[in-house]
Structure 1
Amino acid sequence: MIVKLRSIVFIVSLMALLSSCQDVIEIDVPENQTAISITGRITDSKGGFAVVSTTANYFAQGETPKVEDARVLLFEDGIMVSEMQADSVPGLYTTTFNGSVGSRYEVEVEIMEGNPTFKAGTWRSRPEPMLRVFGIDSIRVRGLNRNTVPQVFTEGAYALMYFQEPPGRGDAYRVTRWKNDSLFTQSIFIFDDSNFDGRYIGDKNGIPPFNYFGPFDEKVGRKDSAGIEIASISRDYFDFLNLVGNQVFNVGSTFDPPPETIIGNIYNVSNPEEYGFGYFGASALSSGGARYKP
């Protein structure tokens, strides 16, 4: 009992000593140099867009600053084909021009002298090919459980996509999904054809259909729709998104590596060794959807 009591007294005394020795230490944290960020894409059926912004200090609150009053040009195979128009949303520029599979695309952003957000200069994306995309044969709603193919852990109704993946290894795709009017933005969904090149996805040859949404809400009288868009992407863009996804969504473990700077395809025209952030891609699109009512 005496030993325990002495231990308690020692711990309390040590805590008091530590608390009395605390001084405020001010650390000068250097602010990172502001850099440009350009993200967007050109498609074969929905036009294109570019979002021009800048990076912000690590401790800054709110959205990153958007660059307005820039001149944004779209190039197809080295020829200027469209000047993107400024949208009502700050930093957003759009075009109704549709690209073509087999062509290569670049975006050029010119920032004039006196721009309040970023220094004057011209930035460009490296040429990006628009590659093929598969067509969706059908989308069906099926009841799934732990004993079905495909197997699910939560029993219910799911939206399944059936399609023929074109022969020729090297295709990569990005998936965008939405329920009713709500877009799923909390994940980056990408895949390639390395495991099923040229195969039919949908119960033939032992390959089950692609389960992209579920289970649907079983509330009586409720109608839900689940949409999907498949976008062809280049291997470079696939690798870029894979790195972004690993850094943004796979964090929190003591085994996670420290974050690294991810270089996209944006560079300064007058100094090609100076990179910006972001990626401007080119995609052919295929889309579909399903509606479910219990």
Structure 2
Amino acid sequence: VLEARPDLFVNRETRTPAPKACCYTCFRTEATGNQSLFIAQDDNFNGLTTRIPAGFIEDNGLRFVSKLRVDLKQYSISQEAFRFLRLVKQQAEISGSIFDPPPATIRGNMISLDNPDEVVLGYFMAAGESSKRIYIDKSDLTFRQIAGIVPDDCRTVSGASIDPPFDWKP
């Protein structure tokens, strides 16, 4: 939720206008993909829960103006799929020092029917999915960036609309 705040825009020197009545609150949707894989095995949880970071959302001054909604998806996969993804993650995190193991081809479970000796990259898997929707209020944050300057019409922010998503239920 983006808000044009009157106290940010009433400036007697520059005569910046107050927010328009139509466009005081706007909504913006953005898809963010994780830049890393977050994987964990549950062998030692024994039915208990644990906390694992699902991602990091940077406060750019516009994301946490009022509320932010995050839709999380968690996938349950087989041990073999976990092993494959763990190896992919390990290779992606190689820092490039002389002590790192050399990159190797990670064999998946796919083969070429025309040429069985051909190296095929990838892994075919099926997964169970569970999802959760979280609303983060600006008061929940321990640190916030200085609020970004939203013009008197918040619709001028790229991707912003005055209409909330159809399933917006904070």
TM range (shorter): 0.5 to 0.7
1:192 aligns with 2:41: yes
Superposed CA deviations along residues 159-187 of structure 1, whole A, max 9, x for unmatched, are xxxxxxxxxxxxxxxxxxxxx63323310
* Per-residue deviation, 1:275: 3.3
- Could you say what the CA RMSD is over the residues aligned between the two structures, in angstroms? 2.6
Question: How far off is 1:278 after superposition?
Answer: 0.9
Please give the residue correspondences for 1:96-107 in structure 2 after superposition, counting only pairs within 5 Å.
none
- Counterpart pick for 1:279 among 105, 112, 123: 123
Between Structure 1 and Structure 2, which shows a larger proportion of helix residues?
2
> How far is 1:283 from its partner?
0.7
Q: Give TM-score scaled by structure 2 length.
A: 0.53
Q: TM-score, normalised on structure 1? A: 0.33
The aligned counterpart of 1:253 is 97
One-letter identity of the residue aligned with 1:259: P
Q: Distance in 2 between matches of 1:271 and 1:218?
A: 50
Sequence identity (%): 36
Structure 2 contact 34–55 (Cα < 8 Å) conserved: no
Is 1:269 equivalent to 2:113 in the alignment?
Answer: yes
| Matches of 1:236 and 1:195, distance apart in 2 | 18
Question: 2:71·2:132 contact (CA, 8 Å) conserved in 1?
Answer: yes
Higher CA-based Rg: 1
Relative contact order higher in (CA < 8 Å, ≥ 6 apart): 2
* 1:292 equivalenced with 2:136 (yes/no): yes
Looking at structure 1, the residues matched to 87 and 51 of structure 2 have their Cα atoms a distance apart, in angstroms, of 27
Give 1:181's aligned residue: 30
Structure 1 CA distance, aligned partners of 2:45 and 2:56? 23
Aligned residues: 108
**Larger strand fraction of residues:** 1
* Structure 2 residue corresponding to 1:227, chosen from 54, 71, 75: 71
What are the Cα deviations for residues 138-158 of structure 1, in whole angstroms up to 9, with x where unaligned? xxxxxxxxxxxxxxxxxxxxx
| Structure 1, unpaired ranges of 5+ | 1-179, 202-207
SS at the partner of 2:132? strand
| Equivalent residue letter for 1:254 | I
